[in-house]
């Protein structure tokens, strides 16, 4: 039996104010009008994560502190194309104090290893010269776009400004075949700040798709004990994105909190009209059926 949108909303186990419910309905209607009834579900077992710096990072960001590098394959451990797993690779690593991943010294080796694999580079604030060198090898470039100077300074520990992110994003789009911006919600200690500004800037600069990630309080970091961003505020941001970017595919990416928070977050993402979710909570997949969405699975990183 088909359910109304209001009936589906009852599956979300937090109280939603009436104005937010109305905003979510508007966002959902925009999604229905502009996209096929498909939810893309990414389970990226075919994408290997490779670090060009091993476990080393010079930045010590408040939200990461190099924690996630330990789960990546060090580039130094690879020697033949057959050493690569799956069908694609996420190429990243620790940052320099200037906020860039030093991919340039690794390009020759990465070119020799590539074979039939596709590469998604996560590069940070690299220069125009580095972008030109990288572009022929990159099938996709993922770029974390930050819209608040205080967040750049206090979370990322960088002496940079939003204008530096704008400049790098423009250069990436100029030379690379596909650039996928990411916005981390709650990056400033779990509080929303520059996310709406980032959305507005990206709309002005142009984008083909957008990936949201959500601050995940991580052991061994400055933000280990902060609360993840308020779910109502996250839902409002999702709606703002859907309404302001009615034709742009929106995805909820892999980096986000787990547990009950994730269960609710994933269902909110669906109800606010996002097009894809990486490793969705099981309840969200059931909810997709109630929203008359067909699940389309992919085994690669959601940026591809």
DSSP code, position 188: B
Domain extent, residue 283, equals 5-298
Task: Look over the chain and give the mean of its residue pLDDT values, rounded to a whole number.
Answer: 95
What integer pLDDT is reported at residue 2 of this predicted model? 57
For 51, the token pair is 């670090």
CA distances (Å), origin 94, targets 78, 123, 181: 18, 9, 19
Identify the CA nearest to 52 among candidates 154, 137, 177.
Answer: 137
What integer pLDDT is reported at residue 1 of this predicted model? 46
Q: Is 161 helix (H, G, I), strand (E, B) or coil?
A: coil
What does the CA dihedral 258, 259, 260, 262 come to, rounded to 10 degrees?
20
Task: Using the predicted structure, report yes or no on whether residue 72 has a pLDDT greater than 60.
Answer: yes
Tell me the pTM.
0.96
User: Is 213:238 a contact under the CB 8 Å cutoff?
Assistant: no
Q: Is 181 helix (H, G, I), strand (E, B) or coil?
A: strand
Residue 83 lies in a domain: yes
Query: Which of the four pLDDT bands, split at 50, 70 and 90, describes residue 77?
Result: very high
Q: Is 286 helix (H, G, I), strand (E, B) or coil?
A: helix
User: Is 40:296 a contact under the CB 8 Å cutoff?
Assistant: yes
Residue 303 lies in a domain: no
Residue 14 lies in a domain: yes
How far does CA 6 lie from the centroid of its chain?
A: 29
Report the CATH number at residue 109.
Answer: 3.20.20.70
Q: How buried is residue 290: exposed, middle or buried, by Cβ count under 10 Å (0-12/13-18/19+)?
A: middle
CA distance 299 to 304: 10
Residue 304 lies in a domain: no
Q: How many helices (H) and strands (E) does the chain have?
A: 10, 11
Residue 184 lies in a domain: yes
Q: Is 158 helix (H, G, I), strand (E, B) or coil?
A: coil
Task: Using the predicted structure, report yes or no on whether residue 210 has a pLDDT greater than 60.
Answer: yes
Share above pLDDT 70 across residues of the chain, in percent, rounded to a whole number: 99
Residue 23 lies in a domain: yes
How far does CA 197 lie from the centroid of its chain?
A: 17
Mean pLDDT of the 21-40 span: 97
Residue 174 lies in a domain: yes
CA distance 6 to 22: 10
What integer pLDDT is reported at residue 3 of this predicted model? 75
Instruction: Quote the number of domains for the chain.
Output: 1
Residue 41 lies in a domain: yes
For 254, the token pair is 């892999």
């Amino acid at each position: 039996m088909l359910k109304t949108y209001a009936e589906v909303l009852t599956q979300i186990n937090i109280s939603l104010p009436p104005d937010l419910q109305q905003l979510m309905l508007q966002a959902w209607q925009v999604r229905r009008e502009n996209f096929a009834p498909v939810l893309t579900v990414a389970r990226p077992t075919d994408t290997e994560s490779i670090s060009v710096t091993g476990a080393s990072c010079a930045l010590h960001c408040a939200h990461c502190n190099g924690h996630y590098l330990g789960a990546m394959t060090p580039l130094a451990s690879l020697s033949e194309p057959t050493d690569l797993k799956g069908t694609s690779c996420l190429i990243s690593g620790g940052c320099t104090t200037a906020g860039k991943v030093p991919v340039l010294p690794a390009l020759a080796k990465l070119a020799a290893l590539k074979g039939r694999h596709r590469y998604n580079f996560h590069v940070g604030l690299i220069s125009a010269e580095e972008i030109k060198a990288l572009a022929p090898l990159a099938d996709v470039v993922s770029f974390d776009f930050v819209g608040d100077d205080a967040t750049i300074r206090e979370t990322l520990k960088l002496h940079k400004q939003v204008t530096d992110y704008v400049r790098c994003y423009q250069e990436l789009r100029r030379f690379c075949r596909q650039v996928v911006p990411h916005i981390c919600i709650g990056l400033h200690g779990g509080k929303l700040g520059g996310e709406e500004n980032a959305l507005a800037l990206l709309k002005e600069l142009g984008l083909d798709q957008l990936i949201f990630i959500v601050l995940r309080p991580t052991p061994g970091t400055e933000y280990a004990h902060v609360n993840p961003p308020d779910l109502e505020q996250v839902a409002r941001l999702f709606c703002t994105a859907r309404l302001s970017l009615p034709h742009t595919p929106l995805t909820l990416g892999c980096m986000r909190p787990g547990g009950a928070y994730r269960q609710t977050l994933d269902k909110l993402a669906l109800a606010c009209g996002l097009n894809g979710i990486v490793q969705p909570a099981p309840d969200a997949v059931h909810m997709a059926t109630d929203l008359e969405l067909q699940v389309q699975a992919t085994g690669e990183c959601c940026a591809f």
